[in-house]
Structure 1
Amino acid sequence: MTRYAFEPAPATSVAIQGRAERFPVRRVYCVGRNYEAHVREMGHDPDRSPPIFFCKPADAVVEVADGEEGRFPYPGETSNCHHEIELVVAIGEGGRDIPQDQARRHIFGYAIGLDMTRRDLQRAAAKAGQPWETGKAFDASAPMGPIHAVQDTGYLDTGALSLHVNGETRQQADLSQLIWNVDETIATLSRLFELQPGDLIFSGTPEGVGVGEVRRGDVMSGRFDGLGELRVRVI
């Protein structure tokens, strides 16, 4: 029997819509600059350069139950915290060097997620050529709704993704507008890391983060066709 110096932290997991079992989270991968209009608003030219990947810790995931309002604690050391609404892809079968035409068999399901960002810290780090962790990988930076199994949704190539803050539209796009689609993302990521069951991939955010600053008391409402609503209040 393994003995620990102190009690290990509980494993992070997310509800699976309509099922009793839960999805255990292993790693959280995120794709940067994956919608053309968002790339432009961030001051870059969109192209087919290899995608940008970064990670968040598994315990950055904050589960928001279906039909409930989650809470996002405004993080310290920032005066410019932004929302980034994204389709999240849950991996159910691992693999390395996955061919693009086989990527779909590795998908367990989909969810709506928010890649919350301390934009001022991210920009300062990027300008200095430093990693993005302080801007991206902080506590509670990945609120997400329940995972919908692919058997219930089918494979998603299109679908309206949107975010409203206090009822005002901030972000909207269609999944078909991804620069690197989900299959390409899985194939490319699997050449850099061996994917495993339990991995989550935040697939990229549409334009609108240029006005994406949130304040305490704001209510963020993210939607994707067929996946319901992710509702989160900033506290």
Structure 2
Amino acid sequence: MSQEFDGLVAIVTGGASGIGAAIAKRLHDGGAKVAALDLNPDAADPSLFAVAANVGDDASVRDAVAAVAGHFGRIDIVVNNAGIGAQGTIEDNNDDEWARVLNVNVIGIARVTRAALPYLRQSEAAAVVNTSSIAATAGLQARALYTASKGAVLSLTRAMAADHLREGIRVNCVNPGTADTPWVGRLLDSAVDPAAERAALNARQPHGRLVAPSEVADAVAYLASPRSGSTTGTSIAVDGGMQELRLRPAE
């Protein structure tokens, strides 16, 4: 595999499992030194520099970013992947739950990137990649709070890109469809009919299956790569066509 990330240091939040773990592996395989910031750092791949971090807490974030910079001496790439889910319509989540989800999914991105900015400004290959969602671009039933948070991530990405472009920092995001992750697996297990629910999720995406975390990781690697110097303020949908395609029913 091409070593396009040689000499670069990357932070991946939520890097110990699911999509985050796949992103961390992809960047590491590409030559980066990778720090996985996670609530459960012990679950991270042993090849990574794992740091305990709660993106919902500013002191925790600052301590974790300082630990990465102290260990590697630099930070070039930040992947804001950590997030939490929420189900229901606007009637189903109270104010405390709205605050909890927005605190992690949106303000968490600001916290981590803010703490890393002094190091990113010193890099000649600075890149930030945020994880948004198909929920930001397609109306999904019973996902009001989650959708609001991911729509904010998409808009925040554009604003960050505008603010930091002239500092040499590119900011982009990925919009995954429903991915085959442990979190989705737990949701399926809690369904009345897990097999039927999985079939419905597969059918909802035009290519007929869940998205593989490695597919999201490859999109993140493109956006984070120094080779993508003219790509900023954009999003890449990794959703099996769900955002843009309208297929006729299969015959």
Output the TM-score relative to the length of structure 2: 0.28
More helix by share: 2
If each structure's strand is expressed as a fraction of its own residues, which one has the higher value?
1
Output the TM-score relative to the length of structure 1. Answer: 0.30
